[in-house]
Structure 1
Amino acid sequence: MADWGNWLVAAGVLIALELFTGTFYLLMIAIGMVAAALAALAGLDQPTQITVAAVVGVAATVLLRRSRWGRRTRSDATRDPNVNIDIGQDIVVDAWEHGRSRVMYRGAMWDVELCPNAQAAAGRFKIVEVQGSRLIVANS
C-alpha cells in the first residue's frame, strides 16, 4: 500500500478510537495524519511526512486546548443546582439568632446561615449554597 493509504488507515483507526474516548484529542492527531497523507500524495519523503503529521497534530491539539471546547469549566459544586438538587429550593425559617438557625428540611434538622446580603427576618428563604450539613440561604 502507498504511504498516503497507510496514513489514511492510521487516521481512520484513530477516529474510531476517538469515538470510544469522548474527547477530541485523538481526532486532532488524526487530522495531522490526514495532512501527512496529503504530503505523501504531494510526493514528499517519509521523514517530511512524519514531520508534517507531528506539526499539524500538535498545532491542532493546541488550538483545541485554547478553544472554548478544550477548556474545562470549573464550577463550585456547592452552588451548582446541576450537582445539588437543594440549590434553589425554598425553606421557612421561624427565628434567627446571630444569623444562624435550625430548620426541618427533607425530614432532618439542618443548620441554616444567611448569605452576606440577606436580612434575618422570619419567613421564606431560598437555598443558594450547601456546605456539608449547612444550608446557606438568601431572602426569597
Structure 2
Amino acid sequence: MDDATLWWVLAGLLVAAELATGTFFLLMLALAAAAGALAAHAGAAFSTQLVTAGLCALLTVGGWAWARLRRRAASPQTNPDVVLDVGQTVQVSAWQPDGTAQVHYRGAQWLAVPSSAHGERHPGPHRIRAIQGNRLVIEPVDHP
C-alpha cells in the first residue's frame, strides 16, 4: 500500500472515531491526515508528509482551541444570546443605603445591584447587564 492510501485510511478512521465520540478535535486531526495524503499525492518524501500533517494538526487544533478560549472568555452571564434578560430595561424607584435596589421585572420583585461601585446612583431607567444568581446587575440607561 502506498503512503497516500495509508494517510486516507487514517483520515477515515479519525472521522469515524469523531462520529462515534463527538470529539471535534478528531476532525481536525483527520484534516491533518488528509493534508499528509495530499502531500503524498504531490510526491513528497515521507518526512515531508509527516511535517505537513503535523503543521496542519498544530494549526487546526491550536486554532480551534484558541477560538474556544476566546469564546469562553466572555462571561455567559453577560451574553444576550445565552441570557435573554441581558439588555432589557428596568425602572429603579430608589436605591437602598446598602447600594441595592428593588425592581419589578417579569412580574416579580428582584434585587438589583449596580454594575460598578463607582459613581452616583440615581433612580430611573436602567439596563440589565448580567444576572448573578437571583440578582440583576444593572447600569443606567444613557440618554443622548
Stretches of structure 2 that go unaligned for 5 or more consecutive residues are none
**What TM-score, normalized to structure 2?**
0.71
Count, aligned residues: 130
Higher fraction of helix: 2
- For residue 24 of structure 1, what is the amino acid of its counterpart? M
Q: State the secondary structure of the residue aligned to 2:101.
A: strand
- For residue 93 of structure 1, what is the amino acid of its counterpart? V
| 4+ residue runs over 6 A deviation | none
Q: How far apart in 1 are the matches of 2:11 and 2:32?
A: 12
- For residue 128 of structure 1, what is the amino acid of its counterpart? R
Stretches of structure 1 that go unaligned for 5 or more consecutive residues are none
Q: Which moved more, 1:97-106 or 1:82-91?
A: 97-106
Aligned residue number for residue 36 of structure 1 = 40
Aligned residue number for residue 54 of structure 2 = 58
Larger radius of gyration: 1
Q: Which moved more, 1:117-126 or 1:93-102?
A: 117-126
CA contact (8 A) 1:7 1:34 kept: no
CA contact (8 A) 2:14 2:29 kept: no
1:81 aligns with 2:80: yes
Q: Which moved more, 1:98-107 or 1:17-26?
A: 17-26
Query: 1:88 Cα deviation (Å)?
Result: 0.6
Q: Sequence identity of aligned pairs in percent?
A: 26
**What TM-score, normalized to structure 1?**
0.73
Query: 1:17 Cα deviation (Å)?
Result: 4.4
Superposition RMSD on alpha carbons, in Å? 2.8
Q: 1:52 to 1:14 in 2, by over 3 A?
A: farther
Q: How far apart in 1 are the matches of 2:85 and 2:40?
A: 52
Query: 1:14 Cα deviation (Å)?
Result: 5.6
Q: State the secondary structure of the residue aligned to 1:24.
A: helix
- For residue 101 of structure 2, what is the amino acid of its counterpart? S
